[in-house]
């Protein structure tokens, strides 16, 4: 692979870091020379020295398997959300492995070259990153999301630190922005699609596990299932869980150009929702399950729950909670926003006493997706069929 950069200033360095240097194992990692095309200066990079993150797999021209040239522009300009960049590891912290576009883990070393995407992240149990400071860049997820951490959960180590070398360009010399290239919002909702959402009290309350179990069980029961994740920060784990369910359609927001949906506008999220549902509708599903990330009070989740579009098109919402008190709280919150919950599930079902405490205060059924999953599947399909009947 060769990385080609414009040479209007004939620069061979970025922020004082030389583009001519040795890799840790002694092999030449960069070599600047004159290019045969125009006045550009080409920088050859030994292919194995560039680690293509999982997010690069969303863009065909940036996949490692494509073996196509990547054009690289050293620049001091500030990156914007969704920009594809080349960065160098300067200090290994929390993320010691990168998940690549070949669906493999690769250990991260100092001076590794990583192709990734800059953005933000909201993760109560991990990192919070609201801005992109190229002079203070961190690895936010092992899938290639990069940004600037402003605070973190107490259990999290300091993030892996990166030095941004510049922007990745297409063959025409235009910067590659993942969102600009992939996001095509839709604002017409398909008929016959009435999804059921999964919303939780926060991270790690059981949303992804419950959604995947439901998708698998409904599939085994003979239903055509579509399952998607509408919001979150790019990571391979959730979509791989969904892919394993046998669903006729599975997708997440990253496939539509969002390295993260944090700080996206409600108009963007509704456009993404409609686009995903139109794509799901092409597979004629009997039921669509949608996970919304993070907790009920997170910015985007709260906005979506109040959306007239979602409320008018959805068949219902399944809640996940960690304990009785949090289950009571989330039920009150979603009812206040105009929703009638289908059921409560998640970590609360691990503790019979929590289930008893909640059930003494609410008539919403508590269903264990690990044991008696048929009960909640029946409730979901009842809601979907009722919505379809009323629409006829």
Residues 301, 366 share a domain: yes
123 located within any domain: yes
Burial string for 353-389 (b: 16+ CB within 10 Å, else e) reads ebbebbeeebebebbbbeeebeebbebbbebbeebee
Final residue in a domain of this structure, among 181, 204, 236: 181
Instruction: Report the SS3 class of residue 49.
Output: helix
Cβ-based neighbours of 16, under 8 Å, separated by 6 or more: none
Q: What are phi and psi of 324, to 5 degrees?
A: -65, -45
186 located within any domain: no
Residues 235, 140 share a domain: no
331 located within any domain: yes
Report angle CA 8, 9, 11 to the nearest 5 degrees: 120
* H helix or E strand, kind and range, residue 179: helix 178-182
Q: Is 155 exposed, middle or buried (0-12, 13-18, 19+ CB in 10 A)?
A: exposed
Task: Express the helix, strand and coil content of the chain in percent, nearest 5 each.
Answer: 30, 30, 40
Residue 303: predicted pLDDT: 97
Residues 46, 164 share a domain: yes
289 located within any domain: yes
Low-confidence stretches of the chain (pLDDT < 70) are 1-48, 66-70, 392
Final residue in a domain of this structure, among 181, 208, 231: 181
Residue 174: predicted pLDDT: 87
Residues 314, 267 share a domain: yes
188 located within any domain: no
Residues 239, 158 share a domain: no
80 located within any domain: yes
Segments forming the whole domain that contains residue 342:
196-391
Residue 318: predicted pLDDT: 98
Which residue is associated with the tokens 């004159």?
34
How many domains, in total, are found in the chain? 2
Number of H helices, E strands in the chain: 9, 23
Cβ-based neighbours of 141, under 8 Å, separated by 6 or more: 95, 121, 233, 234, 235
| Residue 167: Cβ within 10 Å count | 22
Q: What's CA 235's distance to the chain center, in Å?
A: 5
190 located within any domain: no
CATH of the domain at 235: 3.40.50.300
Residue 64: predicted pLDDT: 77
Residues 328, 247 share a domain: yes
Q: Quick one: DSSP state of residue 330?
A: H
Residues 110, 73 share a domain: yes
């Amino acid at each position: 692979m060769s990385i080609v950069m414009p040479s209007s200033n004939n620069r061979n360095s970025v922020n004082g870091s030389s583009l001519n240097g040795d890799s840790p194992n002694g092999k030449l990692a960069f070599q600047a020379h004159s290019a045969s095309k125009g006045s550009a200066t080409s920088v050859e990079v030994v292919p194995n020295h560039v680690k293509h993150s999982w997010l690069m797999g969303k863009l065909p021209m940036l996949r490692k398997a494509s073996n196509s040239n990547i054009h690289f522009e050293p620049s001091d300009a500030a990156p914007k959300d969704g920009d594809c960049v080349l960065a160098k590891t300067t200090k290994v912290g929390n993320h010691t492995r990168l998940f690549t576009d070949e669906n493999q883990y690769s250990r991260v070393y100092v001076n590794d070259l990583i192709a990734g995407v800059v953005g933000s992240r909201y993760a109560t149990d991990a990192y919070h990153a609201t801005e992109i400071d190229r002079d203070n860049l961190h690895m936010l997820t092992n899938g290639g999301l990069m940004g600037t951490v402003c605070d973190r959960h107490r259990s999290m180590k300091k993030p892996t630190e990166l030095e941004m070398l510049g922007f990745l360009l297409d063959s025409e010399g235009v910067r590659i922005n993942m969102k600009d290239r992939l996001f095509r919002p839709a604002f017409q909702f398909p008929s016959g699609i009435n999804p059921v959402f999964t919303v939780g009290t926060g991270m790690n309350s059981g949303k992804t596990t419950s959604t995947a179990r439901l998708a698998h069980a409904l599939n085994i029961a003979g239903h055509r299932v579509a399952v998607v994740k509408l919001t979150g920060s790019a990571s391979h784990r959730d979509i791989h869980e969904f892919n394993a369910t046998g669903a006729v359609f599975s997708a997440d927001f990253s496939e539509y150009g969002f390295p993260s949906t944090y700080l996206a506008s409600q108009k963007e999220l509704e456009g993404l929702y409609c686009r995903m549902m139109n794509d799901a509708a092409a597979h004629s599903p009997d039921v669509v399950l949608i996970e919304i990330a993070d907790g009920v009070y997170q910015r985007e989740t709260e906005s979506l729950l109040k959306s007239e579009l979602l409320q008018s098109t959805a068949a219902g919402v399944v809640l996940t909670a960690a304990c009785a008190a949090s289950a009571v709280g989330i039920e009150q919150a979603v009812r206040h926003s105009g929703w009638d919950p289908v059921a409560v599930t998640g970590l609360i079902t691990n503790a019979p006493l929590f289930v008893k405490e909640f059930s003494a205060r609410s008539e919403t059924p508590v269903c264990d997706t690990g044991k008696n999953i048929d009960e909640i599947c029946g409730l979901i399909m009842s809601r979907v069929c009722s919505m379809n009947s009323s629409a006829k």
